[in-house]
Amino acid sequence: MIFYIFLGVIAGTITGLIPGLHSNNIVYFFTSISFFEKNFSYFVISMVITQSFVDFIPSVFFGAPDTDTFEGVLPGHKLFLEGNGFEAIILTIFGGICAIIFSILLIPIFQQFLIINNEKIIFLIPPVLIISSLILVLSEKNNKLRKIAIFVFIISASQGILFKDQLFPLISGYFGISTIIFANKKNNLIKQKNTATIKTEHVFDGVIGLIGGAIVSIFPGIGNNLAAAIIKLFRQNMKTKKYLVVLGSINTSNFLFSIPVLFVLNRARNGAAIYLKENFIFTEQTYILSIITIIISAGAGAIITIGISKLLCNKIQKIDFTILNYGLILILISLVIIFNGPIGFIALMFSTALGTFTISKKVKRSNCLGALIVPALFFYLFVLI
């Protein structure tokens, strides 16, 4: 079992470092060939948890988004451009570690909550999504910007419906390539600090993220980023650093809570959980061992992420950032074509156009989340009706 955890940590590091390559891709592969080995489930758990830490590295250092962390691209990359990329990574790790510590304490309560309230919670989601959308658009500074925000929200919503299952191309356009295009114009890379200090008050943000992670683990259609964006909307004054802790916490606790959801409700929320649902042997002991796997791989994933980030901080000054940015655009386009085909490429063009329009008009890029919110809203309305 330890061998599989170790392999999972290595696989999670690789999938985390390559934007577009998700642990789900690996899991889908093994699902498609009907591979079964009793302890392989621990590999899957370990890989997903490790990736939840490592995948902030490309988001922060290169502005390259991942489907789980794209909300972190803007604040994380912003800190990077100020020379604080390492601090951004440390904040997300701190969030993830808070999630591990507190969620393990909260799992028994969460299980009871699931058993008692499972039927009721689903009715709360549509109103939350509608209110969040309204707050998102109305939070712009003036009426002119609000009108543009409504336009962006509607266009992104229609793109989200039109390009269903094309999440990676869409987020790469909204939060990735458009950011890189504008970053290219600046082209002034500040030397990165390779030390960081975290205030203990950020523990509270870690707990907030934990609540987001718990919500995400229960409801299909609400991803990590959408949950983070909703939390941010309800806490408008949340600073960049706090937001990164929240996002780190959501990213890790989401999968952690999906394990009790799977055991208690037999409901799978993500690709890895679907594999586990089909192949895991559900006993009390395997449940405990899966939690232990999460603890070990979280610690390992965090240490690896710290190490790689520190290394990057020291090396990144030697990189020609203009070439790197063009290279990243090429990589993102190639990954979209490989994983999503021609439709993905079309989705990428449309979403990049909307992303650059949003930046040029100086409205919040979060308005592009219409692509996630509206399809999720339709999903819940149809489920409830």
Summarize as ranges the residues that interact with other proteins (CB under 8 A). Answer: 1-2, 36, 38, 86, 90, 93-94, 97, 100-101, 195-198, 200, 279, 281-283, 285-286, 288-289, 292-293, 295-296, 298-300, 302-303, 306, 310
Are the C-beta atoms of 372 and 160 separated by less than 8 Å?
A: yes
Q: How far apart are CA 306 and CA 86, in angstroms?
A: 8
The DSSP call for residue 271 is H
As measured in angstroms, the least distance from the Cβ of 295 to other proteins is 4
Residue 368: CB atoms within 10 Å:
28
For other proteins, the closer CB: 23 or 286: 286
CB of 258 to other proteins, least distance (A): 19
Q: Confirm if 209 and 99 have CB atoms less than 8 A apart.
A: yes
Evaluate whether 16 touches 307 at the Cβ level (below 8 Å). no
Residue 238 has which token pair?
């949340």
Kindly tell me which of 43 and 153 has the beta carbon lying closer to other proteins: 43
CA distance 159 to 2: 44
291: its two tokens = 């939690």
CA 188 to chain centre: 27
Q: How far is the CB of 290 from other proteins (least distance, A)?
A: 11
100 versus 149: smaller Cβ distance to other proteins: 100
CB-wise, 166 or 293, nearer to other proteins? 293
The half-sphere exposure of 280 on its side-chain side, counting CA atoms within 13 A, is 26
Looking at the Cβ atoms of 31 and 139, the one nearer to other proteins is 31
State how far the Cα of 45 lies from the Cα of 7, in Å rounded to an integer.
11
Question: What are the two backbone dihedrals, phi and then psi, of residue 361, each rounded to the nearest 5 degrees?
Answer: -90, 0
Provide the 10 A C-beta neighbour count for residue 268. Answer: 17
CB of 205 to other proteins, least distance (A): 14
Tell me the C-alpha distance between 142 and 272, whole Å: 43
Structure tokens at 137: 């658009």
Instruction: Tell me how far, at minimum, the Cβ of 274 lies from other proteins, in Å.
Output: 14
Neighbours of 260 (CB within 10 A): 23
Give whichever of 252 and 270 is closer to other proteins, judged by the CB atom: 252
Q: Nearer to other proteins by C-beta: 294 or 354? A: 294
Nearest distance in Å: CB 301, other proteins: 9
User: How near is the Cβ of 307 to other proteins at its closest, in Å?
Assistant: 9
Token reading at 305: 């992420």
Q: Which CB sits closer to other proteins, 57 or 227?
A: 57
Smallest distance from other proteins to CB 265, Å: 15
For other proteins, the closer CB: 74 or 93: 93
Helices of type H across 122-186: 125-138, 143-162, 167-171, 178-186
Closest distance of CB 292 from other proteins, Å: 5
- Under DSSP, the state recorded for 174 is I
Q: Hey, is 385 helix, strand or coil?
A: coil
